[in-house]
Amino acid sequence: MLMIQWFAVLVNVFLSIKTPSVDQEPHLKNMRQLTFGGDNAEAYFSFNNEYLSFQSNNKKWGLECDQIFKYDLKNAGDSLYSPPLISTGDGRTTCSYFMPNSKDILYASTHKGGKSCPHVVPPRADKKYLWQIYSDYDIFIANSKGKVIKQLTQSPGYDAEATVSPKGDLIVFTSTRDGDLDLYTMKTDGSDVKRVTRALGYDGGAFFSPDGKQLVFRASRPKTPEEVKEYIDLLKEDLVAPTNMEIYVCNVDGSGIKQVTQLGKANWAPFFHPSGQKIIFSSNHHSQRGYDFQLYLINADGTGLERVTNESIFNAFPMFSFDGKKLVFSSNRNNGGTRDTNLFIADWVD
């Protein structure tokens, strides 16, 4: 799940602005900036690779908190382009993804709980950063005109972080419907909901493998009595601390679960490489201060860790196009000394 306010706070702590170098990022060629203001994230390709869905809080677009937009890649690099709004404009939204027809877009929204942006928890005395797991989040499908055509979830509690299988048959999402933050699958019409994960901890941000047989996701696993108590106590307040997460894979039914990374700190936003044999993800494990997030590539068996990005101090939410030729991601590079996080697209070079 994206909580844009998380990386906005982190970015504000320290800004590092450089011009991207071919030598520093050899996997990324012909990079173009797609957005030019605000916090923009979770950009995901349509199945036909012609569009992106993403969320933004760009105040120049009259936004108070995150809303969902559709980006026509014919306009890539046009700083004057204003992509159309897909969400209702009410409440807060997150985690959009195209449906198999490359026209309709699913996303999570709190708009059924109220038109205003939901309350943001104030900073804590212990300075611990927390994500808010809004219980009003449900998953909806809207058409290309922004009209909600179906509500997929209606259970009490948090339902969000939904993505669609490349096979076009299943959706994976995160829910608190059984008392913990676990992964579930459902058919694309919202039926046949099945629980995937059961271990205590936050399982989220899941994506399917290219063949649709596996899932990759981030997870926290509180172990000590103190960690377990803190996790449970925070969850009762619809909160979670996202600072200790590792990357996991499992089969779509939850079997064969395996921890891929053992790096420490926050490892998140994973996505399968087009080969299905590697995973790209964001991590701050290398950082002494905690707020430097870079993209890494790792084999699905946990070997062969390789750093992908070296520019700025925030790079996350990578997704490969369905043909494997492009990578889109969020970064605070090239922001002119502002606090903005923008979308970038590049040719991918193995």
171: CATH: 2.120.10.30
Q: What CA–CA distance (Å, rounded) separates 244 from 129?
A: 11
Return the minimum-mean-pLDDT range out of 19-23, 46-50, 215-219, 230-234.
19-23
Q: Please check whether residue 21 lies inside any domain of the structure.
A: no
Confidence of residue 9 (pLDDT cuts 50, 70, 90): very low
Per-residue pLDDT of 142-175, as tens digits, reads 999 999 999 999 999 999 999 999 999 999 999 9
Tokens of 270: 């994973």
104-120: average pLDDT: 96
H runs (alpha helix) in the chain: 4-13, 225-236
The gap between the terminal CA atoms of the chain, to the nearest Å, is 28
Report pLDDT for 211.
98
Alpha helices in 157-256 (DSSP H): 225-236
Residue 321 and residue 45 in contact, taking contact as beta carbons nearer than 8 Å: yes
- As a whole-number percent, the residues of the chain with pLDDT over 90 amount to 88
- Mean pLDDT on 190-215: 98
Residue 90, burial from CB neighbour count under 10 angstroms (0-12, 13-18, 19+): middle
Which of 101, 100, 99, 38 is CA-nearest to residue 67? 38
Across residues 237-249, what is the average pLDDT? 95
Would residue 20 count as lying in a domain? Answer: no
* pLDDT bracket for residue 126 (50, 70, 90): confident
Please check whether residue 214 lies inside any domain of the structure: yes
Tokens of residue 297, six digits: 């590539």
Report whether pLDDT(342) > 80. Answer: yes
In a domain, 339, yes or no: yes
- In this prediction, residue 295 carries a pLDDT of 98
CA distances from 171 to 15, 52, 68, 196, 307 (A): 37, 18, 18, 12, 30
Average pLDDT across the chain, whole number? 93
Residue where the block lists tokens 């939204």:
93
pLDDT on residue 10? 42
Distance CA 137, CA 193 (A): 17
Dihedral pair phi/psi, residue 26, rounded to 5°: -65, -20
pLDDT value, residue 296: 98
Asked, for residue 22, whether it belongs to a domain, the answer is no
Range of the domain at 259: 4-14+27-348
Is 98 among the domain residues? yes
DSSP-derived secondary structure for 88-136: -SSS-EEEEEE-TTSS-EEEEE-GGG-SSPPPPPPPPTT----EE--TT
Name the burial class of residue 336, with classes exposed (0-12), middle (13-18) and buried (19+) by CB atoms within 10 angstroms of its CB: exposed
Q: Which amino acid is at 229?
A: K
Average of pLDDT values for 56-67?
96
Please determine, for residue 66, whether its predicted confidence score (pLDDT) is greater than 50: yes
pLDDT, residue 122, reads 85
Q: What is the pLDDT of residue 23?
A: 63
What is the pTM for the complete model shown?
A: 0.92
Whether the pLDDT of residue 1 is over 80: the answer is no
Domain count, the chain: 1
- Per mean pLDDT, which range of 12-16, 70-74, 213-217, 323-327 is the poorest? 12-16
Burial tier of 302 (Cβ tally within 10 Å: 0-12, 13-18, 19+): middle
